[in-house]
Structure 1
Amino acid sequence: MKWKWLALGCGFLTVSLIVTSCESIRTSFGSYSFIKKLPGAETIETATQQISLQKIKLEPYAQTIDGTLTSPKYNNFSAEGTVQVSGTVGKYEDLGSEFAWIQIDYTGKQQAGLPSSFHYYVPIKQGHFREKIQLFAGKGEYKVTIRMPGASEEEYYYPFASFRVTNENPSVRRDISYSTSAKKAGLVISSPLTGYTVQRKSVALSGRLAEETQAKKVLLQLRKGEKVWKRVIPVKDHQFAESIPLLYGKGVHELQVMVPDEKRSGYYVEGAALYVDNTSSEERTPVEYTGLYHERGVHLTRPIAGGDRAELTYRIAGTIDPDAKFSKETDYMIVQTTKGENKATYFIPVNQYRFDSEIWLRFGAGTYQITVYVPEVTTEQRDYFRFYTVASFQVKSKASSDLRDLLPSRGVQSDHPDIRDLAREITAGKKTNREKAKAIYQYVANVMEYDVEKLRNNSFEWDDSALKSLQKKSGVCQDFAFLSIALLRSLDIPARFVEGESAGQRHAWVEVWTGERWLTMDPTWGAGYITPEGSFVKKYDEKFFDPSPEAFAKTHKRTGVVY
């Protein structure tokens, strides 16, 4: 808001200390000195001297609105951190606004990043105003100016009174600054408790709005120098809470909580302002959110900013608002990591509207683009999944190795004890990677049944996996591949999920690193075949383990590797 005021004159009076050269009078009570009393001044006797304090003179506008200043009464005095300001306005019903404006200006050198002024907007209730103001910058001299609103023009404020005060307290204690719009909206910040706080990397923000306020969102604005970041967060049951990343490294960040403009839909106006001194020199990047982030009720609690550094794994955590659209049907979240041309996809379960899981940064050291998705909610059965972006950010991995073909992946729980124990049992006595791979091929092809109905009905599930295949002992090509790869990787044998085509349909099989070369195996085709009538015939066939590339190419077309 642009504040305007008219200079109606100033009558600034200074404190005078006058010590006369009058003859001292000695009594049994000690020595006293006489001082000359100025017109309109009063004297205060201390233990060693008498001080002449000049009363604060009100501006002409104060007389116009029948105003008085009841505290403080004197100019140029000392205080210990705070000053009580109070007064009355006889013609308060004629004012264009219900708030008095108190401005405090620090005349000394302010800490970098902190403003040298502070503003209070104090409600005028039944003609009375009262505020305990904070001398925010510590020890030094301050000028305090009190202004009152005009008779009918809310944007205009006029001088009411001013005084100077010296703070003897060195502590930096700053209140949270609230605008008139914030006061009308009933905005109250409950965390942090003060307008200046020292934190590392982030600050926990929480607050509330008045019950009569219909606002569903507030706008956060973080600023450091010329760098600005904005984000809209939801208000639920008149309350809001968010961890705010201090993105721009060491130093003071200004954080503003802006409230919806009552006059213009979709706009926000100044609300509350506070300052956070970040002790971390690490600079980070914002998380980018889409409109679906709020629509689907997603709330990421980790990370709150991009640019984190990690090793092999990175944690993704958050919640789903139970009242949001499709919240009850959202059983999982999808996270995709991208490094260059390499991509890996992970499905994270949602339990009781919460998700929390570690994902693998499997492609070695470097910068990863991480994208978080929500699934499409549909009753249609398909052999693919459709999902939509809600957030994205970057992570830098310091991993020393590229372990893309050894780490667990979507559907491949190679680190699960049941998978590890079974793999050791299957390959007992086998020496080479090829021998172990053949034993696993034989096991999967002999144990698993092909699920024709799953193929026919496209009854794929997000949690299809090696463990599920092991439990059901049936599945389609992806399930044969999931189980085979999990068993191989659990033995530290590199293996990968290959997608392609066979017999005119989408198909999946496995490639295994023997230590010298990649060999191909298709345990699905090794398990049997489907008749022209559409039924599965169980018949083990070894020729689809390590076939010649020429023979395999006659029935299979490779299109890529999936992680």
Structure 2
Amino acid sequence: MNKWLTHSLMVLLLVLSACSPQSSADKTTEEPKDEYTALAEEKNNDQDLKKIELGRYAEEVGATLSSPKYQSFHVNSSFSIKGKVKDTSKFTSDYVMIKVQSEKESPDGEKEFEYFTPINDGTFEQKVQLFNGKGKYEVKVSLPDDRTENYFKRLAEFEVTNVNPKVKRDVMTRIPALEHDLKLENLPSGFFEEDEFFTLNGTVEDAEMIMVKVDKENESSKVMIPVAKDGTFAKEIPLFYGKGVHKATIMTPDEERENYYNEAAVILVDNQSEKTYTPIKYSKVYQELGYSLEYPKVGGEETDLSYPIKGEINPDAPYADQTEVVFVSTKKGEDEAMYSIPVEDYKFDGEVFLRFGPGEYEVSVFAPDFERSNGDYRSFTGLANFMLKGTAEDKRNLLPSKGIQSDHPEIESLAGELTNGKTEEREKAKAVYEYVAKNVTYDVDKLNNESFEFDDSALKTLNEKTGVCEDYSYLTIALLRASGMEARMVTGRATFSFARHAWVETKVDGKWLLMDPTWGSGYLKDDKFVKEYTDKYFDQDPKEFDKDHSREDIQY
């Protein structure tokens, strides 16, 4: 073999060696396609794909659709819609409406899902999530009408088949959400699982309050959410109706109609808990007066003796600066008790008691009604109402209540001093009666001017050492209860003048003992109070007592 031939063979071997396959160590491979993406492509390859035909309105406004391209096709869960419009000058809206209709019902019983997609510089683009898993969907893309507001004309209509069985859902967003720039944060999707509550937070513009309507089958309730000055909001939303899918509709205020809200966004939450609650019912003035009830979140809870009430008042709301106390009533059958919770720096945080034994209670939260109140008449306006289930034993005559702060340290300390060393209940009762009657002076001006206040109470009477019959009774009952004795206020009339009056009953050795510390303190002469202590009205014979006291009601 000559040298030239040998050289040629060597070159050929080098070329063949350079073109040989890579070793397994340095070979790169493509990632395998998702099985549903591959399945969708396979279905499309087997299908006679026909191009989408646009409606007549497309020619009028110069609209085109670059995606999708075909009248019928398959996808893995989602696809994109893209288009352009040359002439948007006559449109009555800035949004394209995309309506997606499933051949079967979604988890909330609906078959439709809508997108409202902004048109920016004549273009629009929307990723469409097929909301109901595997199956066929009819999709309609419509452009804003050139004459009628909130009316749309068809651009294109086509059919999409989802090959992926998994249910995935976007948050359904409507035009009011876009107008208020509503943004929901930290939601996993438009359909997710939770237990009992889910957290809704985000931002919104031009709204002091938003509403969430929670629906399941034929049951519905509303939750109000205050919006901070910076536009943020956050609240735990109850899934009231036990296990199953709840539809939560976020609603923003209507700019034209007062106290009216429009649907802005919709999400579905699959509650995994069997536990049920009842909704809190809010009055119209709840929002008008700027109240926000932080706790409770729901009604229908089971609780023992005490239950917290917590919230705040918008400082810019009417009467916010005047409001020093919020009132709560708990009612079980015919029995009702009132409680007052102080307001400090526009916030209130206190507790009420389910004092009438086991059973169902109706609880109402009230604000002072400054417009209808006067010195003689204190009026309240309802804010919220809900139900509770109490489990504790009956302690109606032992616990704190409106005006009777028997658990306050000053009251407890004084009660301890007055009853120290006394073992008999009658002795303790007499010591309290004597202290109040001797140390509190009757306020004639308050009586004549009818200058009753929302914060009248035992503690106020103790500090000011003056008051009328109600104030004497407040302090007496508070000191008795702080001493571990059952006590209650009796309201009625003084029979000789028919004037309204209040006095005290306390239980001594299992029987109710009557006392009137106001009349034991002194008497009125020539419209002046004469201080003169007497024990005549302590444990007076009931027949004698009833001669000048006409009993009407019991207050706890």
Q: Shorter-chain TM-score category? A: 0.7 to 0.9
Q: Are 1:133 and 2:125 counterparts?
A: no
Instruction: Tell me if the contact between 1:72 and 1:84 (Cα under 8 Å) persists in the aligned partners.
Output: yes
- Find 2:473's aligned residue among 477, 481, 506: 481
Residue of structure 1 in register with 2:294 after alignment: 301
Residue of structure 2 in register with 1:430 after alignment: 422
Deviations 1:481-504 (A, max 9, x none): 222222221232111112222352
- Find 2:80's aligned residue among 55, 69, 84: 84
Instruction: Tell me if the contact between 2:216 and 2:247 (Cα under 8 Å) persists in the aligned partners.
Output: yes
Residue of structure 2 in register with 1:149 after alignment: 143
1:197 and 1:231 map into 2 onto residues whose CA distance is 20
Q: Structure 1 403/260 Cα, relative in aligned 2: closer, same or farther at 3 Å?
A: closer
Give 1:438 shift: 1.9
Between stretches 358-367 and 226-235, larger displacement belongs to 226-235
**Gaps (5+ residues) in structure 1?**
1-27, 30-43
Q: Are 1:118 and 2:113 counterparts?
A: yes
- Find 2:461's aligned residue among 456, 465, 469: 469
Residue of structure 1 in register with 2:552 after alignment: 559
Residue of structure 2 in register with 1:70 after alignment: 66
2:292 and 2:507 map into 1 onto residues whose CA distance is 41
1:151 and 1:165 map into 2 onto residues whose CA distance is 29
- Find 1:162's aligned residue among 149, 158, 162: 158
Matches within 5 A, 1:2-13: none
Residue of structure 2 in register with 1:257 after alignment: 250
Q: Are 1:493 and 2:485 counterparts?
A: yes
2:227 and 2:410 map into 1 onto residues whose CA distance is 45
Instruction: Tell me if the contact between 1:181 and 1:270 (Cα under 8 Å) persists in the aligned partners.
Output: yes
Residue of structure 2 in register with 1:442 after alignment: 434
2:254 and 2:522 map into 1 onto residues whose CA distance is 68
Q: Are 1:409 and 2:401 counterparts?
A: yes
1:412 and 1:122 map into 2 onto residues whose CA distance is 59
1:420 and 1:88 map into 2 onto residues whose CA distance is 77
2:304 and 2:247 map into 1 onto residues whose CA distance is 32
- Find 1:364's aligned residue among 357, 374, 390: 357
- Equivalent residue of 1:526, what SS? coil
Q: Are 1:394 and 2:387 counterparts?
A: yes
Give 1:307 shift: 2.0
Give 1:346 shift: 1.2
Q: Are 1:178 and 2:173 counterparts?
A: yes
- Find 1:336's aligned residue among 329, 335, 347: 329
Instruction: Tell me if the contact between 1:336 and 1:370 (Cα under 8 Å) persists in the aligned partners.
Output: yes
Q: Are 1:529 and 2:489 counterparts?
A: no
- Equivalent residue of 1:525, what SS? coil
Q: Structure 1 218/451 Cα, relative in aligned 2: closer, same or farther at 3 Å?
A: closer
Give 1:363 shift: 1.1
Give 1:143 shift: 3.5
- Equivalent residue of 1:363, what SS? coil
Residue of structure 2 in register with 1:199 after alignment: 194
Q: TM-score, normalised by structure 2?
A: 0.80
Q: Structure 1 475/153 Cα, relative in aligned 2: closer, same or farther at 3 Å?
A: closer
Instruction: Tell me if the contact between 1:500 and 1:559 (Cα under 8 Å) persists in the aligned partners.
Output: yes
1:481 and 1:558 map into 2 onto residues whose CA distance is 15
Give 1:476 shift: 2.8
Residue of structure 1 in register with 2:24 after alignment: none
1:451 and 1:262 map into 2 onto residues whose CA distance is 52
1:217 and 1:408 map into 2 onto residues whose CA distance is 34
Q: Structure 1 100/524 Cα, relative in aligned 2: closer, same or farther at 3 Å?
A: closer
- Equivalent residue of 2:550, what SS? strand
Residue of structure 1 in register with 2:238 after alignment: 245
Give 1:245 shift: 3.2
- Equivalent residue of 1:280, what SS? coil
Deviations 1:109-152 (A, max 9, x none): 766425454322223333322122224345x3454624233764
Instruction: Tell me if the contact between 1:334 and 1:347 (Cα under 8 Å) persists in the aligned partners.
Output: yes
Residue of structure 1 in register with 2:370 after alignment: 377
Deviations 1:184-217 (A, max 9, x none): 4544434646322333333444455556xxx776
What letter corresponds to residue 419 of structure 1 in structure 2?
Answer: I
Residue of structure 1 in register with 2:270 after alignment: 277
2:255 and 2:528 map into 1 onto residues whose CA distance is 66
- Find 1:291's aligned residue among 284, 298, 305: 284
Instruction: Tell me if the contact between 2:433 and 2:538 (Cα under 8 Å) persists in the aligned partners.
Output: yes
2:88 and 2:527 map into 1 onto residues whose CA distance is 92
- Find 2:510's aligned residue among 509, 516, 524: 516
Instruction: Tell me if the contact between 2:209 and 2:225 (Cα under 8 Å) persists in the aligned partners.
Output: yes
What letter corresponds to residue 478 of structure 1 in structure 2?
Answer: E
- Find 1:451's aligned residue among 432, 443, 446: 443
- Equivalent residue of 2:423, what SS? coil
1:121 and 1:289 map into 2 onto residues whose CA distance is 32
Give 1:246 shift: 2.7
State how many pairs are aligned: 511
Give 1:174 shift: 1.7
What letter corresponds to residue 160 of structure 2 in structure 1?
Answer: R
Q: Are 1:419 and 2:415 counterparts?
A: no
What letter corresponds to residue 461 of structure 1 in structure 2?
Answer: E
Give 1:359 shift: 0.7
Instruction: Tell me if the contact between 1:335 and 1:371 (Cα under 8 Å) persists in the aligned partners.
Output: yes
Deviations 1:368-422 (A, max 9, x none): 22222211226986244222222222222122x2111111122222223333333
Q: Structure 1 375/94 Cα, relative in aligned 2: closer, same or farther at 3 Å?
A: closer
What letter corresponds to residue 417 of structure 2 in structure 1?
Answer: E
What letter corresponds to residue 156 of structure 2 in structure 1?
Answer: F
2:179 and 2:438 map into 1 onto residues whose CA distance is 73
Residue of structure 1 in register with 2:341 after alignment: 348
Q: TM-score, normalised by structure 1?
A: 0.79
- Equivalent residue of 2:436, what SS? helix
Q: Structure 1 148/217 Cα, relative in aligned 2: closer, same or farther at 3 Å?
A: same
What letter corresponds to residue 149 of structure 1 in structure 2?
Answer: L
Instruction: Tell me if the contact between 1:206 and 1:239 (Cα under 8 Å) persists in the aligned partners.
Output: no
- Find 1:61's aligned residue among 33, 55, 63: 55
Instruction: Tell me if the contact between 2:522 and 2:529 (Cα under 8 Å) persists in the aligned partners.
Output: no
2:417 and 2:144 map into 1 onto residues whose CA distance is 88
Instruction: Tell me if the contact between 2:97 and 2:114 (Cα under 8 Å) persists in the aligned partners.
Output: yes
Residue of structure 2 in register with 1:102 after alignment: 98
1:442 and 1:485 map into 2 onto residues whose CA distance is 13
1:461 and 1:150 map into 2 onto residues whose CA distance is 59
Give 1:269 shift: 4.8
What letter corresponds to residue 375 of structure 1 in structure 2?
Answer: P
Instruction: Tell me if the contact between 2:419 and 2:483 (Cα under 8 Å) persists in the aligned partners.
Output: no
Instruction: Tell me if the contact between 1:531 and 1:537 (Cα under 8 Å) persists in the aligned partners.
Output: no
